[in-house]
A and B are shown apart, each in its own frame.
Chain A
Amino acid sequence: MALMLIVGLPLFAALLCWIKPLRRAAWPITVLLTWAVFVLSVVVAVRVLAEGKVIGLAGWFEADGLSALVLVIVSLVSALAAVFAGGYMRRTEHEEQARLWWFYSNYNLFAFALLVVPALAEANLVWVGVELITLFAALLVGFETTAGALEAAWKFAVLTIMGAPIALFGFLTLFWAYRSAGGEWETWEGLRSNAAAMDPNLLKLSFLLVFVGFGAKSGLAPMHTWLPDAHSQAPTPVCAVLSGVKTTVPLYVILRLLSIVLASPVARLGQWMVVLGLISVGIAAFLLLQVRDYKRMFAFSTVEHMGIILTAAGLATQAADFGAVSQMLNHAITKSLCFYVAGVVLLTISTREIASVRGLFRVSPFAASALLFCSLAIAGAPPFPIFLSEFSILSAGLRAGQYAVVAILAALIVIAFVAILMHVNRMTFGEASTAFDGQKLLPPSCRIAVLAGAVPVLVLGVYIPAPVNDLLQLAAHQLGGH
């Protein structure tokens, strides 16, 4: 029941935002219902820990450890971003104010699509869910009808929708392989248990097609080019969801499928995933060095982290899988915080260029300290959670005897670390540049979102509560490393 509510509530919220008399209350409705969804996701996660599996509608909607983890991540980020949106969106252009109800309605549909993918057990509908994510995201990216926003939305739509037929081909091939192996109803569980019987070539082909199609959506290089554009042009609360979880959800599908391929004794693809992951990390690390817009900086850092997760999953050991799922969680909570902070900085000084920001501490101590905090966290400095999960991935690599992979990955992470802190250092410290004229008052909802978003980042860095740890272990187990 809880699982069905998780899927149903965002749809209900989107409908409420459409109704004319309620349009003025679109923001409170969105906040209320997204938080309700978060609570329900936690309930589902707790029940998964107790029973191993939660069934919403047998064969259609089911949640295991990995789905529960993704559900919690998605609902937390979308709830916090909804809070942030309240103050931020009120600062947009006048003519867009009248369309705010449309924004919130779309935001809820976007949240629905993001939640439906991990909640689904039927594999073919997952494709539909991922496509819905793309469509609603494209509309949200183009919400501010400036030339830049429209360009970003179009690039985003073409590059990611182009992946759709390719992934569709992959899913059809998967269905073919599954039916030829005598499978009945195609769920993730059924695919997993029939993996050994499926034709390895078909399995490989379908995985590669889905990887190409959905890799573009999760921002893996070289199909990442939409990502910095969309992230610099979309309204900031949308960026937080885009970067934090919109990239994670297609990656979740890829990892599910990878676990099926790895369960087949013949089709081995782990090493390729490691190589492709490292390419993403490498491209992102070097692009980070020369970036000029701080929202784009955080966007490239997303490409880096997606690469790290893929590399870890490719290593396919139990410990590396644990690193991968923790990295998924830690990246989502930290990166969404980064975008709240980027939004706060943008509201304070109204420019996105790194070069024209100096001495932010003297202008707004709140924005500057938040920026420093989240940059340290996303770059992976101790004692933040990303440090922990990156460390566990590297040590898992060492234990698996993959010394070259560990060396390259560590070097690239260090480059990215230096790049991010170099830019942020330039922005926060030093004399204040004369470019900005007085500080605007920050909306309280933005402050609340930043402070609330910082709590999990602080806590998970020093102490992982036992239930969270159990959930991560369970999710890692589903990835099926040895």
Chain B
Amino acid sequence: MPGSVPQALNALCAGLILIAAFAMVATRQVQGVVRFFIVQSLLLTASCFLLGYSRGSMHLWALGAITISAKVIAIPWVLRRVLPGDYYERREISQVVNIPASLLIALLLAIAAEFLAGPLASVANDPVIRVNLPIGLAGVLIGAWSLIARREAIPQLIGILAMENGAFLAGVAIASELPLIAELAIAIDVILIAVVAGLLTRTIRQTLGTTQAAALGELKEEPVSWR
């Protein structure tokens, strides 16, 4: 399958992105989750540059530059500034499901993604799509799972951003000629998401003294038997 060197390297990056997604599920500290997120974003950038080089597409170069400035530099910096040190470095994240079970579910999601996206990818007859589409979908699903399995605000936020990484990984393969303006707008949007969520987290912490999303449990309907 590997046709050229950039393609083979891209396949390597995609594989490592999937591993980074698993690592994010397996990590217990906020700092670790953020670090693996940075690694994943760097790999995504590499994938963008590789495809941008091999396809000669300016859009992909731009997207790579945006990814590195937003997700590798800006967002981790904002998080570090906003969060108190002991929370960031030491506290364990409370999980709904224990980590081995969580990893097993992530694995099942990755297999499901392969089965869902595989037939679609074979339509295109492009080896890059064949690699990036299933792994991108797996990234989205695993990100969604880590969002559900975790009870704290920052890991949830990183989960959303990891989902976005997955969507972009598929995107660089299937929509590499996307108009530049749309990419710029999307990038601005990603930064805005992080800023808004960061602001909200800070106000929540100032008001409640915790960022455990589970502590936010006041608004509920009365329990109903069939639910």
Q: When A179-B175, A201-B123 are in contact, do A154 and B167 touch as well, CB less than 8 Å?
A: no
One of A158, A172, A201, A228 near B171 (C-beta < 8 A): A172
Closest B residue to A233 by beta carbon equals B219
B213 at the interface (CB under 8 A from A): yes
Within 8 A of B (CB), among A131-159: 131-132, 135, 138-139, 142, 145-148, 150-155, 157-158
Interface string of A155-170 (1 = CB under 8 A from B): 1011001101110110
B140 at the interface (CB under 8 A from A): yes
A161 surroundings in chain B (CB, below 8 A)? 160, 193, 197
B192 at the interface (CB under 8 A from A): yes
Q: Are A150 and B170 in contact (CB under 8 A)?
A: no
Q: Are B178 and A148 in contact (CB under 8 A)?
A: no
B52 at the interface (CB under 8 A from A): no
Q: How far is the CA of A287 from the CA of B207 in the complex (A)?
A: 31
Q: When A138-B200, A145-B203, A161-B160 are in contact, do A290 and B219 touch as well, CB less than 8 Å?
A: no
A366 at the interface (CB under 8 A from B): no
Q: Are A148 and B200 in contact (CB under 8 A)?
A: no
Q: Are A162 and B160 in contact (CB under 8 A)?
A: yes
B137 surroundings in chain A (CB, below 8 A)? 169
One of B120, B189, B199 near A128 (C-beta < 8 A): B189
One of B156, B182, B193, B207 near A124 (C-beta < 8 A): B182
A168 surroundings in chain B (CB, below 8 A)? 164, 167-168, 171, 186
Q: Are A162 and B166 in contact (CB under 8 A)?
A: no
A291 at the interface (CB under 8 A from B): yes
Q: How far is the CA of A201 from the CA of B120 in the complex (A)?
A: 8
Interface string of A406-447 (1 = CB under 8 A from B): 000000000000000000000000000000000000000000
Q: Are B175 and A151 in contact (CB under 8 A)?
A: no
Q: Are A228 and B221 in contact (CB under 8 A)?
A: yes
For the residues of B in contact with A, the DSSP-based class is: helix
Within 8 A of A (CB), among B180-227: 181-182, 185-186, 188-189, 192-193, 196-197, 199-200, 203-204, 207-208, 213, 216-219, 221-222, 224
Q: Are A164 and B222 in contact (CB under 8 A)?
A: no
Q: How far is the CA of A150 from the CA of B196 in the complex (A)?
A: 13
B199 surroundings in chain A (CB, below 8 A)? 139
Chain A nearest CB from B75 CB (Å) reads 14
Chain B nearest CB from A159 CB (Å) reads 10
Q: Are A135 and B185 in contact (CB under 8 A)?
A: no
Q: How far is the CA of A438 from the CA of B92 in the complex (A)?
A: 52
A291 surroundings in chain B (CB, below 8 A)? 221
Q: Are A162 and B218 in contact (CB under 8 A)?
A: no
Closest B residue to A179 by beta carbon equals B177
Chain A nearest CB from B154 CB (Å) reads 12
Q: How far is the CA of A229 from the CA of B218 in the complex (A)?
A: 10
Q: Are A135 and B192 in contact (CB under 8 A)?
A: yes
Within 8 A of B (CB), among A239-292: 287, 290-292
B50 at the interface (CB under 8 A from A): no
A110 at the interface (CB under 8 A from B): no
Q: When A165-B164, A168-B167 are in contact, do A158 and B174 touch as well, CB less than 8 Å?
A: no
Closest B residue to A159 by beta carbon equals B147
One of A165, A205, A292 near B166 (C-beta < 8 A): A165
A354 at the interface (CB under 8 A from B): no
Chain A nearest CB from B153 CB (Å) reads 7
Q: How far is the CA of A76 from the CA of B168 in the complex (A)?
A: 37
Q: How far is the CA of A146 from the CA of B163 in the complex (A)?
A: 30
Q: Are A172 and B216 in contact (CB under 8 A)?
A: no
Q: How far is the CA of A158 from the CA of B179 in the complex (A)?
A: 28
A202 surroundings in chain B (CB, below 8 A)? 120, 123
B207 surroundings in chain A (CB, below 8 A)? 145-147, 150
One of B166, B196, B208 near A147 (C-beta < 8 A): B208
Closest A residue to B188 by beta carbon equals A128
Chain A nearest CB from B184 CB (Å) reads 9
- Tell me which of B147, B153, B186, B199 has the highest count of chain A C-beta atoms within 10 A of its own C-beta: B186
A12 at the interface (CB under 8 A from B): no
Chain B nearest CB from A165 CB (Å) reads 4
Chain B nearest CB from A13 CB (Å) reads 19
Q: How far is the CA of A480 from the CA of B64 in the complex (A)?
A: 39
Q: Are A158 and B213 in contact (CB under 8 A)?
A: yes
Chain A nearest CB from B110 CB (Å) reads 16
Closest A residue to B129 by beta carbon equals A176
Q: How far is the CA of A106 from the CA of B83 in the complex (A)?
A: 25
Closest A residue to B136 by beta carbon equals A169
B12 at the interface (CB under 8 A from A): no
B111 surroundings in chain A (CB, below 8 A)? none
Closest B residue to A290 by beta carbon equals B222
One of A124, A132, A151, A287 near B218 (C-beta < 8 A): A151
B124 at the interface (CB under 8 A from A): yes
**A-B complex: 9 closest residue pairs judged by Cβ atoms:** A165-B163, A151-B216, A176-B174, A124-B182, A172-B171, A128-B185, A175-B175, A229-B219, A165-B164
A sample of 18 inter-chain contacts (CB < 8 A) reads A124-B182, A125-B181, A125-B185, A128-B182, A128-B185, A131-B189, A135-B193, A135-B196, A151-B216, A151-B217, A151-B219, A157-B197, A158-B160, A162-B163, A168-B167, A169-B140, A179-B177, A201-B119
Besides A128-B185, A158-B160, 14 other CB < 8 A contacts? A128-B186, A150-B204, A151-B217, A154-B200, A155-B216, A157-B200, A166-B144, A166-B163, A166-B167, A172-B175, A175-B175, A202-B120, A232-B219, A290-B222
